[in-house]
Chain A
Amino acid sequence: MPIVHPEVVVTRPDTVLRVTAHPAPIRRSVRPDVVPAIEVEGVTKRFGDTLALDDVDLVVPPGGVVGLLGPNGAGKTTLVRVLATLLAPTAGHARIFGHDVVEEPQVARRNLSLTGQYAAIDGLLTGRENLRMFGDLLQLTPSSARRRADDLLERFDLVDAADRRASTYSGGMRRRLDLASSLILPPRLAFLDEPTTGLDPRTRNQMWEVIRELVADGTTLLLTTQYLEEADQLANRIVVIDHGRIIADGTGDELKDRAGGITVEVLLADSDGAADACRVLAAAGLDPRGVTAPTADLEVPTDSTQGLGTVQRVAGALQAAEIGVTDLGLRRATLDEVFLQLTDRLPTDGDEPDPASSGNGRPATNGHRR
Chain B
Amino acid sequence: MTTTTDPTTPRDGRTGDAHGDPAIQQHQRGGLATALTDGWTLGKRNLKHFTRLPRLLIFSTIQPVMFVLLFGYIFDGAVRGALPDGFPSYLAFVMPGIFVQSTVFRMTQTAVGLADDLDKGVVDRFRSMPMSRSGVLIGRTIADLVRSMAVIVLMAIVGVLVGFRFASFVGAVGSIAIVGVLGYALSWVFVWLALHVPGAESAQSAAFVFAFPLSFVSSVFVPATSISIAWLAFIARNSPITAAADAARGLAVSGPVLAPTLKTFGWSVALLVVFIPWSTHRFRHVE
Residues of A at under 8 Å CB distance from B?
14, 33-35, 47, 61-64, 81, 84-88, 97-99, 106-114, 116-122, 124-125, 129, 133-134, 136-141, 143-144, 147-148, 165, 181-182, 185-188, 215-218, 220, 236
Contact = CB atoms under 8 A, between A and B. Distances in A.
B21 A98 contact: no
A165 B52 contact: yes
Contacts of B42: 133, 137
Contact of A116 (B7, B15, B121): B121
Contact of B125 (A33, A110, A182): A182
B130 A110 contact: yes
Contacts of A133: 41-42, 45
Q: Which A-B residue pairs are the 7 nearest by beta carbons?
A: A118-B121, A218-B4, A110-B13, A120-B125, A63-B3, A186-B19, A114-B128
Given A187-B19, A216-B1, A86 B37 contact: no
B246 interface: no
A138 B129 contact: yes
A106 B23 CA distance: 23
Contacts of A107: 12-13, 130
A139 B29 contact: yes
A181 B4 CA distance: 22
Contacts of B125: 114, 116, 120, 181-182
B138 to A, nearest CB: 12
B124 A186 contact: no
Interface of B: 1-5, 7-8, 10-15, 18-19, 21, 23-29, 34, 37-38, 41-42, 45, 48-49, 52-53, 120-122, 124-131, 135, 285, 287
B130 A109 contact: yes
Contacts of A138: 26, 129-131
Given A86-B128, A112-B128, A137-B131, A98 B27 contact: no
A35 B7 contact: yes
A201 to B, nearest CB: 24
A83 to B, nearest CB: 9
26 contacts: A61-B7, A84-B124, A86-B127, A110-B15, A111-B11, A114-B125, A116-B121, A118-B121, A121-B122, A129-B48, A133-B41, A136-B41, A137-B41, A137-B129, A137-B131, A139-B28, A140-B26, A144-B24, A144-B26, A148-B24, A182-B125, A185-B18, A188-B5, A188-B11, A215-B1, A218-B5
